[in-house]
Amino acid sequence: MKGVLVVAEQLRGSVRDVTRELITAAAELGGPVTVAVLGADPAALRAGVDVAGVDEIVEVRTATAEFENDVYQRAVEALIAERDPAAVLLGFTVNGMGYGPAIAAKLGLGFASDVFGLAREGGDGDRIVCRRAMYGGKVHAEVELPAGRPALIMLRPTAWPAATGPGGAKVTQATVGEPGSSRARHREFAEAPASDIDITTAEFLLSIGRGVESKDDVPYFEALARKMSATLAGSRPLIDSGWLPSARQVGQSGKTVKPKVYLALGISGAVQHLAGMKSSDLIIAVNSDPEASIFGVAHYGAVADLFDVARELEKLF
Amino acid sequence: MKIVVCVKQVLALGDEVEFTDDGRDVDPDFLELSLNEWDAHATEEALRIRERSADGAGGEVVVVTVGDESAADVLRRCLAMGADRAIRVEAGPGALADPITVARALAEPVRAEQPDLVLTGVQSSDSVQAATGTALAELLGLPRVAVVTRIDHTDGEPTAVVHRELEGGLVDVTEVDVPALLTVQTGINEPRYANLRAIKQAREKELAVVRPSPAGQPACSVRRMYAPPRGEGARMLDGEPAEIAARIAEIVKERLS
Ligand SMILES: Cc1cc2nc3c(=O)[nH]c(=O)nc-3n(C[C@H](O)[C@H](O)[C@H](O)COP(=O)(O)OP(=O)(O)OC[C@H]3O[C@@H](n4cnc5c(N)ncnc54)[C@H](O)[C@@H]3O)c2cc1C
């Protein structure tokens, strides 16, 4: 059986969690698992990927320490040519989005992203079937990738548990192609502005979404949160519109929270929102749409108008 | 300064779902059509860059989509926002099957425009692949940056400085050679509404229809679509708002006590 190539994701000197989730998925898929680690000093990142399930770590030394899409693309293309894997697994992350689809387009690979389920089929396990969502998560699809050529698959973060346990993989070094020039160059990181709001330590979050249709209603929910002794949080559209400060954003590009209670009003449950709150102890969702995906992760749900419910809640705290 | 913006007509599901007889897609009667949210931001950003650029009104914003005749609606909306011209790439069979195939259909018409900048949305709200823009950049041989929340570019300069927004909101300030393709993230701007006059004027603007180049091999194919398993789904609280609120209050108080 052909192998699986995992591309490690790293940021500022450490391997990101999604990498070890990819390793779990790769080991489940079957076949030898190779993890490619790119960096100015890839050996320093070894401990972050040398976990159970990995057969080989390929260390690729790059001129730049941080991610640049041209550099990753060149290296991964060279590894695909050299090893002819059945599948190449990347995270469905901002970095992955910057080069994964380019490789698939250039080499004519099978491709699917935001994948949360994987299986091998066919005689030699050459055909890969992925599970992913469509139409705002209201529908799931089984997607077949063509057999006979590698498949580049971008996996949804947090869909697989992170691989743990002692490793012991064989380590090899690779120099791939000419270093070449990078057409999009990392200059510096700019941190989100500091804030005295910390939604990550709150026990009770009242989180509002685009169901709150007007900026004028936001103060009402601020007051409701105070009354309920909850901390106000929100989905990205409210931060994008400037209705809430960015420190209150829950989700992939905001904060990951795990409160005792997460009460979501008028939030549909897009994958990037769920990434930030799905491991809350208790999730309660109010949404007027009975098919809203948020009900897939909530423990309690109510199909109702959020304003009607809010006005009643107000009286009870 | 010429900017091409690639936009998509997305399909949103209402409160109910039914599937086509072959079980490979949702019955179109249950879908609503609209301009992809991310693409509205990309179009707005193109208009702002044009407005800021040295040649001002002399610049051009061209919007392109792949789709059937109904998809012309999203082009009209972009024209009403202020885009100058539109191109619809006729969607042949299978043309919308996967983002790589869509990128192949877009490549020729976009290349022919010789743009200084190509913008797309980060992803479409209906298929969430976040792939078309990056794949298109490759086919056009352009440098690219995905998930951009800010674009600083002075007309005629060989580079642009953009903000690439990573997980957790961390920003990677990136310098990119131009011409380039950027995939635009929400929050970069507040898209304008078109007034009635603009909507009327949009009808006068050019909307060309071109044939796609051969689609090539699909990158994937849908075998089956189904309602997501609701195995451990939520326990639903029924009743009037007052009853729902009472149950929520009870559950919350018990948890926090
Ligand atoms: C790279 C990337 C990163 C992202 N990061 C994040 C992130 O960190 N956090 C985040 O939240 N999103 C993020 N997003 C955006 C995400 O994809 C969704 O667009 C967003 O989460 C939608 O927010 P929403 O649920 O509030 O809005 P919508 O999806 O518009 O949902 C609104 C919901 O409100 C319901 N509703 C409307 N009116 C009422 C009413 N009166 N009563 C009850 N219910 C009502 C509707 O039925 C609907 O379900 C990211 C996207 C990308 C591409």
Most confident of the ranges A104-108, B91-95, B96-100: A104-108
Q: Return the DSSP state at B22.
A: T
Ligand 1 in reach of A293 Cβ (< 6 A): no
B173 shares contact with chain A (CB less than 8 Å): yes
Q: How far apart are alpha carbons B77 and B83 in whole angstroms?
A: 9
Q: How far apart are alpha carbons B27 and B16 in whole angstroms?
A: 10
pLDDT of residue B194: 87
Q: What is the pTM of this model?
A: 0.95
pLDDT of residue B231: 63
pLDDT of residue A233: 98
pLDDT of residue B238: 94
Write out pLDDT tens, residues B238-248. Answer: 999 999 999 99
**Averaged pLDDT, A63-74:** 94
- B222 → closest Cβ in A137, A141, A260: A141
In the A/B pair of chains, how many CB contacts fall below 8 A?
Answer: 291
pLDDT at B7 over 80: yes
Q: What distance in angstroms lies between residue A255's CA and the mean position of ligand 1's atoms?
A: 15
Single-letter amino acid, residue B225 = M
Asked if B58 and B66 count as a contact pair (C-beta separation under 8 A), the reply is no
Pocket test for ligand 1, best of A252, A256, A306 (most atoms within 8 A of CB): A252
Nearest CA to ligand 1 atom 8: A251
**Averaged pLDDT, A228-237:** 98
3-state DSSP call for residue A111? strand
Q: How far apart are alpha carbons B116 and B4 in whole angstroms?
A: 8
Asked if A176 and A78 count as a contact pair (C-beta separation under 8 A), the reply is yes
Q: For residue B184, what are its two tokens? A: 């635009």
Tokens 């610049």, residue located: B59
B228 shares contact with chain A (CB less than 8 Å): yes
Q: What distance in angstroms lies between residue B54's CA and the mean position of ligand 1's atoms?
A: 37
pLDDT of residue B57: 60
Write out pLDDT tens, residues B163-203. Answer: 999 999 999 999 999 999 999 999 999 999 888 899 999 99
Q: How far apart are alpha carbons B199 and B86 in whole angstroms?
A: 14
Pocket test for ligand 1, best of A268, A284, A311, A313 (most atoms within 8 A of CB): A268
Write out pLDDT tens, residues A20-59. Answer: 999 999 999 998 999 999 999 999 999 999 999 999 999 9
B219 shares contact with chain A (CB less than 8 Å): yes
Q: A204 pLDDT band (50/70/90 cuts)? A: very high
A313 shares contact with chain B (CB less than 8 Å): yes
pLDDT of residue B112: 97
pLDDT of residue A194: 84
Domain covering B2-210 assigned CATH 3.30.1130.10 in the classification:
no
Q: For residue B36, what are its two tokens? A: 């992809």
Write out pLDDT tens, residues B196-238. Answer: 899 999 999 999 999 988 778 899 999 999 988 876 679 999 9
Mean per-residue pLDDT of chain A: 95
Write out pLDDT tens, residues A115-125. Answer: 999 999 987 77
Domains belonging to chain A, first-starting first, are 4-174 (3.40.50.620), 199-316 (3.40.50.1220)
Q: DSSP letters of A60-96?
A: EE-SSSS--HHHHHHHHHHHHHHH--SEEEEESSHHH
pLDDT of residue B232: 67
Q: DSSP letters of B200-237?
A: HHHTTS-EEEEPPPP--S-S-EEEEEEPPP-TT-PEEP
Q: A179 pLDDT band (50/70/90 cuts)? A: low
pLDDT at B18 over 90: no
Ligand 1 in reach of A306 Cβ (< 6 A): yes
